[in-house]
Amino acid sequence: MTDPSVLRVVGEIGSPLEGNVGETSRELRIWRREGLLLVLNFACDPVIHGCTSSDVEPTVRFYDIRGSHAPSPELVSTYRPSRLPHEFYLWQDPNDPTRALLYMFAAGVTGDELLVTDISAAREGRFAEVASWTSSFPDPGPDDTLHSVSVSRDGRTALLAHLTAGFLVVDTSEVADGAAHPLIRTVTALASRPQWPGPGAHSAVPVPGSALALTTDEVYGGSVGGGCPWGWVRLIDMTDPVRPFVVSNTARPPTTRTTTATASNTSAT
């Protein structure tokens, strides 16, 4: 980007690989070492997205963006996960730069909610689903959906934002270590997990250099819990990951926007 004040399109991925009717490109990440662009696609929702309904199968497409392919990415492989992922987290092994894992979260499904896939051989079109996790909440809340996951740099801990089911810490050390049949273990005691009403925990990330996690809620104008004030931000103390607790929270207050009309001034909140 030579001049950030003057933006221009230098290339795009179009049909039939992307931008298809009834398909949405939900998430994308770049695996820098391999020069790969990862794009998660699945069927559009006619209610939420206002698009044409379809029966498109979920895929993660891997595009080569090295050198001359940067403005014109070239498809090198396609992964078809066994579950419909809502989002994903790309973890790159700090001890082995050739190894990378996808942590995918299957929101609103029955069964495994977290699926881990080894994508180290993505350029050869080989993918291995190596681990999974599912919850067992006694009191999940009205929206029991795993929305997002973040993984520590060493890969040994993951933070789960489970909407109204709350916030949890899980142990992913066996996955990081490359165990033959790795287990993901729930660390946070279900009875002690931070949980709150409304839309619930949408995202959860660690605060660098501390034992804190930052969570956000997803709130729109017409969503559950209203839209004013906007989504809450919470800091959670994870000094004891078995019993993490909220130490502070805040939300953006209502704002007043003044619009000048021809005949009069009007304001909206």
Task: Tell me the pLDDT tens digit for each residue of 203-244.
Answer: 999 999 999 999 998 875 544 455 556 678 999 999 999 999
Q: Which residue has the tokens 């501390």?
A: 210
12: Cβ–Cβ under 8 A, 6 or more apart, which residues?
18, 19
Q: Which residue has the higher pLDDT, 268 or 68?
A: 68
* Average confidence (pLDDT) over 237-258: 82
CA 262 to chain centre: 45
Query: Distance between CA 173 and CA 166 in Å, rounded?
Result: 22
- Whether 262 shows a pLDDT value over 50: the answer reads no
| 3-class SS string, 190-234 | HHHCCCCCCCCEEEEEECCCCCEEEEEECCCCCCCCCCCCCCEEE
Burial of 199 (0-12, 13-18, 19+ CB in 10 A): buried
- DSSP for residue 32: T
Predicted confidence at residue 108, as pLDDT, reads 57
Query: Distance between CA 146 and CA 106 in Å, rounded?
Result: 7
Amino acid identity, position 107: A
Predicted confidence at residue 267, as pLDDT, reads 31
Average of per-residue pLDDT values in the chain: 86
Query: Distance between CA 206 and CA 201 in Å, rounded?
Result: 14
| pTM listed for this prediction | 0.85
Task: Render pLDDT for 70-117 as a digit per residue (tens, 0 to 9).
Answer: 989 999 999 999 988 889 999 999 999 999 999 999 765 556 789 999
Predicted confidence at residue 107, as pLDDT, reads 62
Domains and CATH numbers, the chain: 81-268 (2.130.10.10)
| Bridging pattern class, strands 157-163 and 167-171 | antiparallel
Query: Distance between CA 202 and CA 217 in Å, rounded?
Result: 5
Predicted confidence at residue 220, as pLDDT, reads 58
Q: Does the bond joining 4 to the residue before it have cis omega, within 30 degrees of 0? A: no
Token digits for 269?
Answer: 């909140």
Token digits for 103?
Answer: 């942590």
Buried/exposed 153-165: b ≥16 CB within 10 Å, e otherwise = eebebbbbbbbbb
Predicted confidence at residue 199, as pLDDT, reads 82
Q: Which residue has the tokens 């396609």?
A: 78
Token digits for 26?
Answer: 């939900």
